[in-house]
């Protein structure tokens, strides 16, 4: 893999990841861009013991542009990427977290405030606008994994960063703003509530590692969707969403940089197969969120176990699961599809190549 670092017209970093060592990435960004936005502000919620990012500048971010104005397609007047690419990563133009300066009022009351330091990056999986992650060749998936691992390592070393989160949102039903196949990376200035809660629960678990014990139990049960020598994909016993799949490496590692070459090579064929099964369920491109759970930079890293959480809000060909009163207000999920039935449907789904 060849990595090339360059800069966009407003100073943001752009990284090219190429399979070929002779790839030429000398093209410059010719655009006249406005100054970068100020930093977001973190505000503390004393009732929930959580930090919330306030980022008003994101209201003006690009929203569902025409295909010929897609900022992730290479080398045109609206593009963030001035040359063709294999995989490209760049600093988000409208970040939720950054190291820019900002001037914010004191929220008062029992809240507290601090700068929203951190970083947000966009990961372009391919230059092909009409592709999807499920259509990527195994070597392209490996290149994406290499980019995720590289960015995780570098972002984890930035001052003030406590957790690095790689994820993909896909589909209008999820709320995407760009249809080009891409994901994002958030480098948070705090440990996110879900991660902190999972690790706190793992700390109370008696016996071995909680995540490893869950994986071992699921590998023997009826909810396995797919498996190979290094990975298992299964529907969790208490799935929150109609179709939710967790993908675990068999070897416990804390984060993406810790995967070895064999594990990286084995991931793509299994994961893209699961995605194709998901699309084949109802004969439509399924909306989904794919979220990598990695160890935080410092907090309870010894308990963490890298895994991918994939879930869709579609529960039937013409029906979505909306997070309404119980889920949105109380955080109390009710799932309309039994996990065992979801696993069976995914196993039996007709997979196209």
Q: What is the CA radius of gyration of the chain?
A: 20
Contact 297, 163 (CB under 8 A): yes
Annotation says 182 is catalytic: yes
Contact 118, 188 (CB under 8 A): yes
In this structure, the number of other CB atoms found within 10 A of the CB of residue 240 comes to 17
Contact 39, 100 (CB under 8 A): yes
DSSP 60: G
The catalytic residue among 180, 182, 230, 293 is 182
How many whole angstroms separate alpha carbon 75 and alpha carbon 83? 5
SS3 286: coil
Q: Tokens 């957790």 belong to which residue?
A: 163
Phi, psi (rounded to 5 degrees) for 206: -95, 140
DSSP 69: G
Contact 176, 170 (CB under 8 A): yes
Q: Which of 239, 210, 200 is nearest to 342 (CA)?
A: 239
- Catalytically active residues are 182
């Amino acid at each position: 893999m060849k990595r090339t670092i360059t800069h966009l017209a407003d100073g943001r970093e752009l990284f090219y990841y190429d399979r070929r060592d002779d790839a030429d990435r000398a093209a410059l960004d010719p655009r006249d861009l406005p100054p970068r936005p100020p930093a977001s502000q973190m505000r503390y919620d004393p009732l929930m013991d959580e930090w919330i990012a306030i980022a008003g500048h994101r209201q003006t971010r690009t929203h569902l542009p025409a295909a010929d104005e897609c900022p992730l397609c290479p080398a045109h007047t609206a593009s963030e990427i001035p040359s063709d690419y294999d995989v490209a990563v760049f600093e988000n133009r409208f970040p939720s977290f950054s190291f820019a300066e900002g001037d914010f009022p004191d929220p008062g009351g029992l809240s507290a405030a601090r700068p929203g330091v951190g970083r947000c990056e966009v990961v372009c999986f391919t230059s092909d606008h009409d592709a999807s992650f499920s259509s990527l060749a195994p070597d392209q998936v490996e290149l994406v994994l290499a980019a995720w691992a590289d960015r995780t390592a570098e972002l984890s070393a930035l001052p003030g960063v406590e957790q690095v989160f790689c994820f993909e949102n896909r589909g209008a039903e999820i709320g995407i703003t760009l249809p080009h196949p891409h994901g994002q990376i958030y480098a948070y200035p705090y440990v996110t509530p879900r991660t902190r809660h999972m690790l706190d629960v793992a700390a109370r678990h008696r016996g071995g590692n909680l995540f490893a014990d869950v994986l071992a139990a699921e590998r023997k049960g009826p909810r396995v969707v797919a498996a190979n020598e290094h990975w298992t994909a299964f529907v969790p016993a208490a799935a929150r969403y109609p179709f939710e799949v967790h993908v675990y490496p068999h070897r416990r590692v804390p984060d993406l940089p810790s995967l070895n070459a064999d594990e990286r090579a084995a991931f793509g064929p299994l994961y893209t197969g699961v995605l194709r099964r998901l699309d084949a369920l109802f004969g439509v491109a399924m909306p989904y969120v794919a979220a990598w759970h990695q160890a935080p930079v410092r907090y309870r890293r010894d308990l963490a176990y890298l895994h991918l959480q994939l879930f869709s809000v579609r529960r039937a060909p013409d029906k979505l699961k909306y997070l309404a009163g119980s889920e949105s207000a109380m955080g109390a999920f009710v799932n309309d599809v039994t996990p065992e039935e979801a696993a069976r449907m995914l196993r039996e789904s007709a997979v196209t190549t």
